[in-house]
């Protein structure tokens, strides 16, 4: 798997979500965000069951393999994610993230991800409290706070997400300092500093990047 230099909290990373990209120009747009300075490619996988939308599968992600040096951050918004994890493992894959709401045996799922040689993440829907991570926080490499209800791009940031970030940051500092905090949903130029000040280290941005008149400029602005 891709080797990422450990930088701790010294560097925030921008992870544009290709869910909002123009799929007729996907390779071109990924190359564009890489040249502009993006750090990660966020890959939103939706099955139409766990969330009310269908996006794409491993084939689309793998079409980018060899065309970018950016790591893949795979967000599985699907039922039964353990059945599909291996399909998303490439030399570029840094994270595979599953939803606690979709994993009745979350510890087993996290160990499965780690057995594949990639970092393991857990995502929380807006109504799911951070407290559900109490018993597993030390096993995680990443926690993804959803600041919109997952399924569609272009939604507005849910304000109480900030309280969840701060709660998670406190838990991280006490229990797992190497954990990375990620946020996804409604992030733009107006609120990106607010969430990073609260403790977010990886920022997912979809429509605010790929919906901008000048994608390269927007990446640099963010």
Active site residues: 44, 184
Q: Tell me the C-alpha distance between 80 and 73, whole Å.
A: 19
Q: Cα 127 vs. chain centroid, distance in angstroms?
A: 18
Element (H, E) at 42: strand 41-46
Concatenate the DSSP letters of all residues of 164-211 into one string: HHHHHHHHHHHH-TT-EEEEESS--TTTHHHHHHHT--EEEESHHHHT
> Which residues fall within 8 angstroms of residue 122, CB to CB, at 6 or more apart?
97, 98, 99, 100, 106, 110, 133, 136, 140, 142, 143, 144
Q: Tell me the C-alpha distance between 179 and 52, whole Å.
A: 29
> Which residues fall within 8 angstroms of residue 78, CB to CB, at 6 or more apart?
45, 46, 47, 49, 50, 84, 102
Q: Tell me the C-alpha distance between 146 and 126, whole Å.
A: 6
User: Which residues, in sequence order, are bridge partners of residue 17?
Assistant: 42
Tokens coding 3: 């080797």
């Amino acid at each position: 798997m891709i080797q990422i230099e450990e930088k701790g909290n010294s560097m925030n990373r921008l992870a544009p979500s290709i869910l909002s990209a123009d799929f007729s120009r996907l390779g071109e747009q990924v190359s564009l965000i890489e040249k502009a300075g993006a750090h990660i490619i966020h890959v939103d996988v939706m099955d139409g069951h766990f969330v009310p939308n269908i996006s794409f599968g491993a084939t689309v992600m793998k079409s980018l393999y060899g065309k970018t040096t950016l790591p893949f951050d795979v967000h599985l918004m699907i039922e039964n994610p353990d059945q599909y994890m291996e399909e998303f493992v490439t030399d570029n894959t840094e994270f595979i993230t599953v939803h606690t709401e979709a994993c009745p045996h979350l510890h087993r799922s996290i160990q499965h991800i780690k057995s594949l040689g990639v970092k393991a993440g857990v995502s929380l829907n807006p109504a799911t409290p951070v407290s559900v991570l109490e018993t597993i926080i030390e096993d995680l490499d990443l926690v993804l706070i959803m600041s919109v209800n997952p399924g569609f791009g272009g939604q507005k940031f849910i304000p109480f997400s900030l309280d969840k970030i701060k709660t998670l940051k406190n838990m991280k500092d006490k229990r797992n300092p190497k954990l990375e905090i990620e946020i996804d949903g409604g992030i733009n130029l107006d609120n990106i500093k607010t969430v990073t000040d609260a403790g977010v280290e990886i920022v997912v941005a979809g429509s605010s990047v790929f919906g901008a008149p000048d994608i390269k400029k927007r990446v640099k602005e963010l």
